[in-house]
Amino acid sequence: MLDPEIDRIVGSANSSGAPEYCDMSVEEARLAHEEKAPLLGAPAVPLASVKDGRIPGTLIEIPVRIYRPSLDDAMQPCLVFYHGGGHVIGSLNSYDTLCRQLALQSGVVVVSVDYRLAPEYRFPAAVEDAFDAYEWLETNGESWGLDPCRLAIGGDSAGGNLAAVVALLVREAGIQAPRHQLMVYPATAPYPDSPSQLQYAENHILTRRLILWFHEQYLTYADHLDFRWAPLLADSHEDLPPSTIILAQCDPLRDEGIEYAHRLIAAGNDVTLSVYSGTTHPFFSWSGVSAKARTAVSFAALQIRTALAEANEAPVVVRGFRQPFG
């Protein structure tokens, strides 16, 4: 049963007669997403500074947007954020108000990464950009006033997928790991065949048709078995950063998020899992119209703030699960 506010959003979408993104051209889908995002997101709160920049990647300069909640002269902690959108849609602009909220409520700098999108740039282009952005900030962040010892990574949906993959790649590369990873309903499995994928295949915003369309734009058949797409397939999940995983109860991606949490815990990592009852994909972006979304964003910000606190302020992290939120 959906939360009443979430139910109104889902019901309105189902009765609108509007085509799904998968029934549009990619360009039309992107434009529709840009137009819809401000309607459900939180108001654009002012911050001390919001500036666009570029990070030199392996193949391109990666556009980013830097959200500073304060202009403190000291080196600031930073969340490297990867937006959602199936690796096909989404942008700095469509995630602007969410990143503002995360920066304001966490008190840390948020660097939002505008990685390359499919189908123009298929797998693993998004992964390359996501990793390059983190690696550059870990090495050169001080030039932007960022503390390389207090970095976190995070994202929702496709962005949650990228955060999980970057954590694995950072471990393999032997560079300094992020202090925390925030994954909001991340895609982690090779194929969309879990029970929740089938249970919520229709009438819950993120439909099975749309998921398969995203896969078609981003992946080849062989790519499904690459851990850089499906982090559940990684050879090892040991020695990864403490994690916060936020899931929606009525979401096709719910089960693979839970499975990834289990895998991380079994490998000895610290994990906090929160499943928000009565919610669906992509409720985390609906702070303008949903109390549950506001609660989830505030919880994510709290997790980031405590994870990136100074060493003598860092809290004890408890391994295990949180009960689903009511």
Domains and CATH numbers, the chain: 4-321 (3.40.50.1820)
> Tens digit of pLDDT for each residue in 213-222?
999 999 999 9
Question: Which pLDDT does position 177 carry in this prediction?
Answer: 98
Phi, psi at residue 257, to the nearest 5°?
A: -65, -45
C-alpha span between 162 and 81 (Å, rounded): 10
Q: Is 157 a catalytic residue?
A: yes
pTM of this prediction? 0.95
Q: Distance (Å, rounded) from C-alpha 228 to C-alpha 233?
A: 9
Q: What are phi and psi of 77, to 5 degrees?
A: -70, 160
- Catalytic annotation present for 251: yes
Report yes or no: 182 and 303 within 8 Å, Cβ to Cβ: yes
Annotated catalytic residue: which of 281, 285, 287, 290? 281
Catalytic, out of 94, 157, 274, 285: 157
Q: What is the pLDDT of residue 311?
A: 55
For the chain, list residues with pLDDT below 70: 311-326
Residue type, 196: S
180 in active site: no
